[in-house]
Amino acid sequence: MHVRNDPHLLDDPPDRLLNGLRDDPYIREGDGGGDVSGTAPMPPARPAGTGSQQLLRELLAAAPAVVARRLGDPRLAASVLTELLRRRPELARAPAVAARLLAHPHLPPSLLPRLAESLEWKTLADAAAQPGIARAARRTLAGLLERRLGQMTLGETISLARRAPTELLPSLLAHRDERVVRAALGNPRTRADDVSRLLSESSRQPERAAALGSVMSQTRWRALAAAGPSEECTESQDAPDATERSDGP
């Protein structure tokens, strides 16, 4: 073709060369050269949901440890989580996966109690402590844990008190065993108003008098105990803790 033999075109910059090719009557669609103008039809768009479907396929083939790490992927919609649990129900029995699932913001609320009922209390507590967990999900987990308190050993209850979610702490601070109370007082999620309530009860109920000693044994709460039960609480009961994700704007 004459374009190949034209030294001026070959010496020109690429954009000018393309212009020359575009205007050349010898280069047409179907002659083997194809459309070099850059205006060829774009490939068809990927169907909606393709990313989620691909992620689901990967999760269905992945080991539980990999699934646990990838549960933070924003493409994990409720439909993906539901299908993943339907086709791989054994994942619900893997503690690391279950804790991330329970705390996932897209887990359908109807699945949470069903998923949690067969899990150990430690997994539920770990899920409630996940950063970014929605307040509603955390409250549900706290309620499930509270219903199990009567079935737990003293050692398990003490261990739970050290890591319990905010909503469960009032029940643990009201526990009849002072070892549980001391453990709950050391929980980083315990709030000043919870302790003030405990001090108020200890002043009115002789059987709770030992609670004052438990509070005094904690450096964190000693000043509050010294001020007495009438000291006004400085923290709101409804204030979210640092790991909480808001349910809305």
Residue 100 buriedness (CB in 10 A; 0-12 / 13-18 / 19+) = buried
- The b-or-e profile of 36-51 (16+ CB within 10 A means b, else e) is eeeeeeeeeeeeeeee
Whole-model pTM?
0.63
pLDDT for 224: 80
Residue 156 · residue 122 · CB < 8 Å? no
Residue 175 · residue 194 · CB < 8 Å? no
**Closest by Cα among 99, 170, 172 to 137:** 99
pLDDT for 146: 95
pLDDT class for 228, splitting at 50, 70, 90? low
Q: Which two tokens stand for residue 213?
A: 């000693």
What is the per-residue pLDDT across 37-89, written as a single tens digit (0 to 9) for each? 444 454 444 444 567 788 889 999 999 999 999 987 766 889 999 999 999 99
DSSP letter for each residue of 154-165 = HHHHHHHHHH--
Q: For all residues of the chain together, what is the average pLDDT?
A: 75
Q: Which residue has the higher pLDDT, 13 or 211?
A: 211
The residue type at 103? A
DSSP letter for each residue of 48-72 = TTHHHHHHHHHHHHS-HHHHHHHTT
Tell me the sheet residues that pair with 244: 133
Cα torsion 12, 14, 19, 22 to 10°: value is 120
- Per-residue 3-state assignment (H helix, E strand, C coil) for 80-102: HHHHHHHHCHHHHHCHHHHHHHH
Range from 2-6, 33-37, 85-89, 181-185 carrying the lowest mean pLDDT: 33-37
Helical ranges in the chain per DSSP H: 7-11, 14-23, 50-61, 64-70, 78-87, 95-103, 111-116, 121-128, 135-148, 154-163, 169-173, 178-185, 192-204, 210-216, 222-227
Q: With a cut of 80, say whether residue 5 has pLDDT above it.
A: no
Q: With a cut of 60, say whether residue 205 has pLDDT above it.
A: yes
CA–CA dist 84, 65 (Å, integer): 15
What is the per-residue pLDDT across 122-165, written as a single tens digit (0 to 9) for each? 999 988 988 778 888 899 999 999 999 999 999 999 999 999 99
Q: Which residue has the higher pLDDT, 93 or 233?
A: 93
pLDDT for 196: 87
CA–CA dist 77, 126 (Å, integer): 22
Q: Which residue has the higher pLDDT, 15 or 229?
A: 229
The residue type at 65? A
What is the per-residue pLDDT across 82-111, written as a single tens digit (0 to 9) for each? 999 999 999 988 888 988 888 888 888 888
Q: Which residue has the higher pLDDT, 173 or 24?
A: 173
